[in-house]
Structure formats: C-alpha cells, structure tokens
Amino acid sequence: MEPFHDRDMSLKSELHSHIASLRRYALVLTRDPVSADDLVQETLTKAIAKADTFQPGSDLRPWLFRILHNTHISEIRRQKTRDDAAPDLPDPVARECQHTQLELKQVLAALDQLPEAQRKPIILIALREMSYAEAAQSLNLPLGTFMSRLGRGREALRRIVRGCTGGKLTVLKRKETGT
C-alpha cells in the first residue's frame, strides 16, 4: 500500500482531469454559471478534505460526481430551510400609496370585465389622455357614438368597482367640457 501522502498527491493531480465534466454537470444542476463554479469549488474542497475516504483502485469520477450531487442537494435543503424560516412579508409599500394602489388594481380588474367597445374609449381618455374628438377619430366613430360608449363604460365601471369596494369611483371622472 502506498503512503498516505503519495496517495493524496496522486488524487489531487487526478482531480484536474475531471474538473470540466464536473462543471458541465454542475451547470445542468444549477442552471447558473456562477452557482455551478461555486458548486464545483465546494466539491473539490470536500474531495481533498476527505481524500482518505477514497478507495484506491476505484474510479474517481463517480466518487466526485456523488460528492457534487450530494453537495447540491444539501444546498437546496439549506436554502429551503432558510426560505421557510424567513417571515413571509409582503413587499414594502408606502403608506400613502396603499389605498391608491388597491383602488388602481380594482379599477384595472374591472376594466378587463368591460366589453371592448366600452373599454377602448375609457382607455383613450383616461390613460392616453386624448381629447374626446381625437379618441373618437382614432376609433373611427362619430363623436356622439363615442360619448355614448364612454358614458356607458364609465357607468359600468363604477358599478363594478362599487360592488368591490362599496365606495364611489372618482379616478376616471373627468371634466367633460370639450377636452
């Protein structure tokens, strides 16, 4: 049997021939080049530290791949434990914007429920800030038809939002004097 030091040195020199294949496998596991390099480095560190457990005469490649795989699984478990231990807090929101953001989400959800003929005029006026005449022209509608669809759409939107919030919708109410 060869002395421990010689066996350790031959193991270290043989490790170099497997680094490229370890990197490929680590990249498949992690799908991230930086994480893959970290995983290979950790694997090589563990292999060198546990060189005395390697059986001389056996194939080094499966031993290294087992270390890499087990290290990856351990990291996944460790990350899951960290994620489970962390409190599940929502993203921070400025207090003064909370009500506005909630109302905006409700309005957008309600807007999706409207028929397209009513939704388009509201979007052109409220979101794209077109004048009534410009919006009617962009939809190839007479101004009266456009105003009728806009009015019906606004009323339907108010009813939907009132059903959700019990309040009055003021977000889309605009002065209707020719602009």
Q: What does the pLDDT look like over 21-60, one tens digit per residue?
A: 999 999 999 989 999 999 999 999 999 898 888 888 888 8
Looking at domain 95-165, its CATH architecture is: Orthogonal Bundle (1.10)
Contact criterion met (CB below 8 Å) for 117 and 149: yes
List where CATH 1.10.10.10 sits in the chain.
95-165
3.40.640.10, 3.30.70.20, 1.10.1740.10, 3.80.10.10: which CATH number matches 4-85? 1.10.1740.10
Q: Pick the more confident residue, 97 or 25.
A: 25
Say what the pLDDT of residue 145 is: 93
The radius of gyration of the chain from alpha carbons, rounded to an integer in Å, stands at: 33
Say what the pLDDT of residue 158 is: 87
Position 33: which residue type? P
What average pLDDT does the segment 98-102 reach? 75
CA distance 6 to 8: 5
> What mean pLDDT is reported for the chain?
81
Say what the pLDDT of residue 144 is: 93
- pLDDT single digits (tens) 135-154: 899 899 999 999 999 999 99
